[in-house]
Amino acid sequence: MSKRNLIIGAIAVVAVLYAGLTATVVEEGKEAELTGEVVFDPTTNAQNFWKENSPKYFVDNAKDLAELFTEAGGDLTTVASKYGHYSMGDSGELSFIVKGTGTIKNVKNKLRSGYLEITPDGLDSNTSFRIQIGPVFKNSAVRDTISLISYRDYKNQIEWAQVSVAFHDLILKEVITPLNIDAAMQGKRVEYVGCYTVTRPSQVLITPITLKIE
């Protein structure tokens, strides 16, 4: 072997030995402690907001449902700047935080996307008004009405969607399940604060933040 090759070989051996001596073995699941990168956890994010701000945030920002529809006069975009929230800042889906009282006219608790159909007080309308009771919730109205968080805070649409799912899990556990909703509640009075995404004129689908059934 030439002198040149011997020198190259010696350098390679030293490099390997140095790498072995300086390498850090990190326990699986604790990589963030070394890199400083925080692993995204939508459940923790939602739980922290829920614990620190709910239901006060929603109660303080809720608009009476009957007053909202009366003021809008059939076009909710006309009151968007006063009461509404867009999912993408100034565009996207339009949602509102609403509150009200009414009477339960139908209980659909056997469906995957269950709901209470209600007759809201103060409104004479052909629109179907429903309060979601899960276990599957449609739309992302709760997430989208929180001005304290933004889609810009997340890496991608997958993370942003996971935040909405996490809120729905909390609502099912803490708001819906304790009520033991059944068909016998038809005809009873209901009081609610919730979030609603404008989808079609014929239906208002409210995701509850607080829900009381007499």
Summarize pLDDT for 51-90 with one digit per residue, the tens.
Answer: 999 999 999 999 999 999 999 999 999 999 999 999 888 8
- Statement: the pTM of the whole predicted model exceeds 0.75: yes
At 212, give phi and psi (nearest 5°).
Answer: -120, 130
Return d(Cα 166, Cα 150) in angstroms, integer. Answer: 15
| Sign of the Cα pseudo-torsion (36, 40, 43, 45, in order) | positive
Of 130, 128, 109, 115, the C-alpha closest to 184 is 109
Select the highest-mean-pLDDT range: 87-101, 154-168, 180-194.
180-194
Q: CA 44: distance to chain centroid?
A: 12
